Amino acid sequence: MDRSYDDPFITYRYAENIHRGFGFVYNPGERTQSTTTPLFTLLLAALSPLWGILPHLANLIGIFSLAAGGLLLWELAAIWKAPWAGWIGLLLYPFFPLAITSLGSETPLYIAFCLGAFVAYVRKRYCVTAVCAALAVLTRPDGLLVGMLLAVDFTIRYFRNRSSPLLSPGVPSCYF
Whether 100 shows a pLDDT value over 90: the answer reads no
Task: Report d(CA 74, CA 87) in Å as an integer.
Answer: 6
- pLDDT 10s digits, 113-169: 999 999 999 999 999 999 999 999 999 999 999 999 999 999 988 888 775 545 554
Sign of the CA dihedral running 46, 51, 53, 55: negative
Task: Give the HSE-up count for residue 122: Cα atoms under 13 Å, Cβ half-sphere.
Answer: 14
More reliable by pLDDT, 157 or 171? 157
Q: Is the pTM of this model over 0.75?
A: yes
One-letter identity of residue 160: R
pLDDT the model gives residue 171:
46
Q: Where do the domains of the chain lie? A: 7-160
**Helix locations, 93-125, DSSP H:** 97-101, 107-122
The DSSP symbol for 143 reads G
Q: Rounded to whole angstroms, how far apart are CA atoms 115 and 99?
A: 14
- Distance (Å, whole) CA 150 – CA 39: 21
